Amino acid sequence: MGEVFYVTTPIYYVNDMPHIGTAYTTVAADAVARYQRLKGRRVFFLTGTDEHGQKVAQAAAERNQNPQDWADSMVPHFKETWRILNISNDDFIRTTDNRHTKVAQVFIQKLKDKGDIYLGTYEGWYCVYDESFLLSSQIVDGGCPECRRPVEWVKEENYFFRLSKYADRVLKHIEENPDFVQPESRRNEVISFIKSGLSDQSISRTSFTWGIPLPFDARHVMYVWFDALLNYISAIDFGSNMKRFEEIWPADLHLVGKEILRFHAIIWPAMLFAAELPLPKRIFAHGWLTVEGQKMSKSLGNVIAPKELVDEYGADAYRYYFLREFSFGIDGNFSRRTLLGRYNAELANDLGNLSSRVLTMVMKYRDGIVPEPKASGAEENRLREIIPEILAKLDVKMAALAFNEALSAVWDLVHALNRYVDVSAPWSIASDPSKKKELDTILYTSLEGLRILALLIYPFMPETGRKIWERTGMSEKITQARIPEAANWGALRPGSKIVTGEPLFPRKPE
Ligand code: MSP
């Protein structure tokens, strides 16, 4: 089971447009997926949209639209956002897809047949924004503990899932598998929440109709979270193509924002236990982003669409910034000043200049032909030796989802290469015919370093990685390259032709 590396994002509600918060998870998942592919793993990377429930129904009603039409009109915005950010998802699941609704019905029927679902009455608080049932003890200042919005008092006939029956098993699993819920601080929160006692979970609604009808009682629609969590198995053909399902399931990694960790770390495992399916290997909750120190919200008018930043900086600079600036597990603050600062210092200066000066010198001194290196000296050896160290560090940091540290390791190579070019000062020997071999070696070494660098930045900045790779004269596609083999020294063939190309990251006025 699970031969494929399976990584997921949450499926996003279609009540509103995607923004830099939603894109944060998707960009991170893309870096993970691309890194795993680079390592030669078969990857299945899933994202999609969560289209049922009261919140989406309300959003549609406010525009006098029926919810299906509304969802249909919103989905292209998500797809387009992932396209401009160069997201390499293998599938896009919609909870209104027939393939999903069928699986959700089969799944819930299975739990019903088992006796894990019973009819009752829910009376309590409900937060429409978070689509969550809340205990009175959870209410903070009369509002939702998560989003602080006003909550509704709901009394309706609901079906319940015997969550309490599985509480001990879920707790035991979390305690025995330290990697299952991460980061550690969030894992502890989940553990204490379970220990405080779990009641059964309402899993249907009767006060509106926008949802998947229960197969055993069509007066009810499925609770949107029960429906949504099942996307992770409906997209891989649970129930219809079990061979494929078993190749992909269990998920290696569910990436989620911290506010939805409980659904993933408590309800979802209990649902899977009830259905006798293996649990995902790892659930990682990342922090939330604020914008210039404030929570992003429509009322504050500070919601930023990824497109706005991509138009200004390009997709790769966007991806670089969000992965480099923040520590994934904790909250962070987006600011235009830090974006511009990193763009100029790390992309325009460190990376862009490195690439353009190396390529320009090869063009100028060797007519753009990769020279044959001769005996290497201490500086060359030093540069070559750090590459395996950087690769090892990158691997450890990627496994920990410490994207900022992974990029900082990659930048060690950027700095080492810049330093190498500085100390070797090829321009100072360029006109001395007796130093021809020396110059050849310096140019080859810089180019080969640049080629390897292209590979390492590829998961984070796929376009830039590809461009640098091709400019150094590689004819094989970067998508075919695998680490660590492709990062072995010497793959660049003397005699190939390099390309200088347009500046990668033109400097911007500060
Ligand atoms: N539909 C549910 C998820 C169901 S998964 C089975 C949902 N959707 S959502 O549209 O509200 O998206 C929530 C996710 O978007 C968060 O978990 C997080 O991944 C991301 N973010 C939304 N706003 C964010 C920030 N301000 N900062 C960082 N990430 C945030 O919840």
Kindly list the domain boundaries of the chain, sorted by start residue: 336-487
pLDDT at 90: 98
Substitution candidate for ligand 1 out of 16, 131, 260 with most atoms within 8 A of CB:
260
Burial 142-166 (b: 16+ CB within 10 A, else e): ebbbbbeeebeebeebbbbbbbeeb
The region of weakest confidence among 107-111, 126-130, 255-259, 367-371 is 126-130
Whole-model pTM above 0.85? Answer: yes
pLDDT digits (tens, 9 = 90+) for 5-49: 999 999 999 999 999 999 999 999 999 999 999 999 999 999 999
Q: Output the pLDDT for position 358.
A: 98
Mean pLDDT of 324-340: 97
Which pLDDT band holds residue 2 (cuts at 50, 70, 90)?
A: confident
Q: Which of 23, 14, 105, 111 is nearest to 307 (CA)?
A: 23
pLDDT at res. 502: 96
User: What pLDDT band is residue 375 in, cutting at 50, 70 and 90?
Assistant: confident
Which range (74-78, 142-146, 206-210, 479-483) has the least confidence? 142-146
Tens of pLDDT, residue by residue over 449-481, are: 999 999 999 999 999 999 999 999 999 999 999
The answer to whether residue 298 scores a pLDDT higher than 90 is no
| CA distance linking residue 456 with residue 462, whole number of Å | 10
Q: Which residue has the tokens 């690439």?
A: 355
Res 45: pLDDT:
98
Asked whether 49 lines ligand 1 (CB < 6 A), one says no
Structure tokens at 440: 């050849």
Instruction: Answer whether 14 contacts ligand 1 (Cβ < 6 A).
Output: no
Mean pLDDT of the chain: 96
- Our answer on whether the CB atom of 17 is closer than 6 Å to any ligand 1 atom is no
Q: Whose CA is nearest to atom 24 of ligand 1?
A: 21
Across the beta sheet with 283-286, what order do the strands follow?
Answer: 91-94, 43-50, 5-13, 253-257, 283-286, 181-182
In angstroms, the CA 96 to CA 213 distance is: 12
138-155 pLDDT, tens digit each: 889 889 988 889 999 999
CATH of 336-487, one of 1.10.730.10, 3.20.20.70, 3.30.70.1060, 3.30.420.40: 1.10.730.10
The answer to whether residue 136 scores a pLDDT higher than 90 is no
Instruction: Check if 24 has its Cβ closer than 6 Å to any atom of ligand 1.
Output: yes
Q: Please report the pLDDT score of residue 308 as a whole number.
A: 98
> What pLDDT score was predicted for residue 162?
98
What stretches of 39-66 show up as alpha helix (H) in DSSP? 54-62
User: Does the beta carbon of 212 lie inside 6 Å of ligand 1?
Assistant: no
Mean pLDDT for 504-510 is 96
Q: Which atom of ligand 1 is nearest to the CA of 268?
A: 6
pLDDT at 135 over 90: no
CA of 12 to the centre of ligand 1 (A): 6
* CA 359 and chain centroid, separation: 32
Cβ atoms within 10 Å of 359's Cβ, excluding its own: 22
- Label residue 348 by pLDDT band (50, 70, 90): very high
Sign of CA dihedral 145, 149, 155, 159: negative
The model's confidence at residue 339, banded by pLDDT at 50, 70 and 90, is: very high
Ligand 1 atom, smallest distance to 231 CA: 6
- Helix ranges restricted to H, 63-142: 67-84, 98-113
**Residue 360, amino acid:** T
- The pLDDT, as a whole number, for residue 156 is 94
Q: 103-107, 292-296, 466-470: lowest mean pLDDT where?
A: 292-296
- 306 contacts: CB under 8 Å, gap ≥ 6: 18, 19, 20, 23, 81, 84, 85, 318
